[in-house]
Amino acid sequence: MRDDPKERAALGRAANAIAPADGIARRRADFPILARTVNDRPLVYLDNGATSQKPQCVIDAEAHYYAHLNANVHRGVHRLSQEATDAYEAARDIARDFINAAQREEIVFVRGTTEAINLVANSFGARFRAGDEILITGMEHHSNIVPWQLACERSGAVLKVVPVDDSGELDAAAFESLLSPRTRIVGLTHVSNALGTINPVRELIALAHARGVPVLLDGAQAVPHLAIDVQALDCDFYAFSGHKLYGPTGTGVLYGRRALLEAMPPWQGGGDMIRQVSFARTTYNDLPYRFEAGTPNIAGAIALGEAMRYVRDLGLDAIAAHESALLRDATERARAFPGLRLIGTAREKAAILSFVLQDVHAHDVGSILDHEGVAVRTGHHCAMPLMERFGVAATVRASFALYNTHEDVAALFAALDKVREVFGDA
């Protein structure tokens, strides 16, 4: 198929005529990087599951800190330190509101979801003993597998895994049967990064709590797409990253139920997490600071607060509706595309489309798409056990965000036609 920019635009207009834009995508002008080109073509950025682009207000918030507030927090009596502390703690209040935590002390700033899960695995996991069980699922990101494996190595605990069915949904009956008197924690992804499956976490949490088992949710792929209320979910821990939520890299949040956090030992020692230090003993700071050792990413936390404010003001329900329309469009096109096999067809999905093309390696697909200006992710998506479950080494993953359009979907499939042209109709 000949690639024609006018034809690509016409396809996009036709798709929009079928599913009118709700106004959300018009905010793409807020994201300066989307104005650039790749290989002399307009950038079509569909790798949001890996990291999202940043609106100008987030970029400005980080720059403003360094230009006008740059000082350490919690330590100084001078004006800059006080203003930096106020801005940093205001971001904590925004995070508390964003996920509806009961108290600001339940919000711990971390470098991202990976650090948040490692914090819990090391600190809460300090109580694990030989024969205890940790329950995770077959669709977890490596960051919700490896920290628990390390905890098992330290303690002698045993890792149990809930299976995934052919559509990419969890086996709920198996989940319930795997909960045992020895289960000490459940680690569960809210939304699968590789499949887009939205897990029925509220029901699964209720099953675990009925047996007295706490639950950690990996929310890295959920917070950009779904309104999160940790009190309504009744989860015990919730972890997410800033960079997938239109915020800076190296930022994130761990929510922890206060009673649990208060019973957990610090997992890093240093400045700001202490109350009193002598060579004889150290007493630790109050929540949340006992888990925030050292100088934090102050600028990043402030900019993350701005990102959460930006998303909150747009409305996650509106964002979800817009992205759902994009996913329906992409799924319909995928089902009709010759030789394409969807990986992950759960009934409830976030805006992620994973697939393989017959006889074409995922990396080759990604390279040709990049030549056409379309950015997707190819590989195992840090979910090797899940790839093995579906009998593939890698998939192509197109993941959508609030600034994507039906024209972007059309561009993806026009570029996939180019793949067929290069490799032939296998």
For residues 199 and 171, the answer to whether their CB atoms sit within 8 Å is: no
Closest Cα to residue 374, out of 115, 45, 64, 105?
A: 45
Alpha helices per DSSP H over 139-297: 146-155, 172-178, 201-209, 230-233, 258-263
**78 Cβ neighbours under 8 A, 6+ residues apart:** 71
Strand order in the sheet with 395-399: 340-342, 352-357, 395-399, 377-379
Please give the DSSP secondary-structure letter assigned to residue 355.
Answer: E
Q: Which amino acid is at 59?
A: I
List the Cα angle 371/397/328 in 5-degree steps. 105
Say how many CA atoms lie within 13 Å of 92 toward its Cβ. 24
For residues 185 and 214, the answer to whether their CB atoms sit within 8 Å is: yes
Alpha helices per DSSP H over 40-155: 56-64, 79-99, 113-123, 146-155
State the pairing for strand pair 282-284/274-277: antiparallel
Structure tokens at 404: 């994507």
- Provide the annotated active-site residues: 382
For residues 43 and 375, the answer to whether their CB atoms sit within 8 Å is: yes
